[in-house]
Amino acid sequence: MATTTARRAAPVVRPIRNGQEFDDAIAELDELANANPREGTAAYDRMGLLAILIAAYEDDNLPPFESASPQEVVRFMAEQRGIDSAALAELLGGRSRLSEFLSGTRELSKSQIMTLRDALGIPADLLLGA
């Protein structure tokens, strides 16, 4: 922990240049966030600066985040809740509707979105087709 304190005391004078520096910055930011520094303190300011540097490194070096399709979201949440395909088909109005939705040939209706939202806890905006 002493190295983290020493590292934190050093001023930030350049952007993050590599994966190790990125990992170190994330670890320090996590530690600072867990400490919940008060606004206006040096630790609070450092936390903001690290967040900016981390975001810049991610933008330049990491692949863009790809959101999941409605089908992937439904499959994942059904699996997490232990809902099998028969129960999922019942929620959507039958096996053929489930099959058409999962294959991407049919979008969900408004009532199906509301049913899945209530049954699986999926926010409705994640169920809308792109």
Which tens digits make up the pLDDT trace of 58-112?
A: 999 988 878 889 999 999 999 999 999 999 999 999 999 999 999 999 999 999 9
**What is the SS3 assignment for 81?**
coil
Distances (CA, A) of 76 to 45, 81, 127: 38, 9, 12
**What is the SS3 assignment for 76?**
helix
Residue 3: its pLDDT value, please? Answer: 44
Average pLDDT score, the chain: 89
Calculate what percentage of the chain has a pLDDT beyond 90: 78
- Residue located via tokens 């129960």: 87
Q: CATH for 70-126, among 1.10.260.40, 3.40.50.150, 1.10.490.10, 1.20.1250.20? A: 1.10.260.40
Q: What are the structural domain ranges in the chain?
A: 2-61, 70-126
